[in-house]
Amino acid sequence: MNKIVVMIIDEQPFFRAGVRQALSEESGFEILDCDPT
């Protein structure tokens, strides 16, 4: 089954890390993140 590719875009590194951590505990997601600034 294809993974859902999720990109987290937020200025705050802590927020990106928190969302990444939360989603990484779920199966079926490939997670990317970036700072929009």
Partner 1 sequence: MIEANLPNIVLLGSDLGTHSGLELGGRIARYYPNTKVIMLSPNPNDEELFEVIKTAAVACLSKNVNTPELVNTIKRACGGEYPINETVMNRPRIAGRVLEQFQNISTIGKPMETVITPLTNRETQIMRYIADGNTNKEIGRVLGISEQTIKSHVSAILRKLNANDRAHAVALAIRSSWITPEGTTQEICQ
30, 4 in Cβ contact below 8 A?
yes
Distance separating alpha carbons of residues 28 and 30, to the nearest angstrom:
7
The nearest distance, CB 35 to partner 1, in angstroms, is 10
- Closest to 3 in 3D by CA, of 25, 29, 24, 31: 29
DSSP conformation class of 28: T
Residues 1-37 that bind partner 1 (CB under 8 A): 4-12, 15-16, 19, 22-23, 25-26, 29, 32, 34, 36
The nearest distance, CB 31 to partner 1, in angstroms, is 9
Binding site for partner 1 (CB under 8 A): 4-12, 15-16, 19, 22-23, 25-26, 29, 32, 34, 36
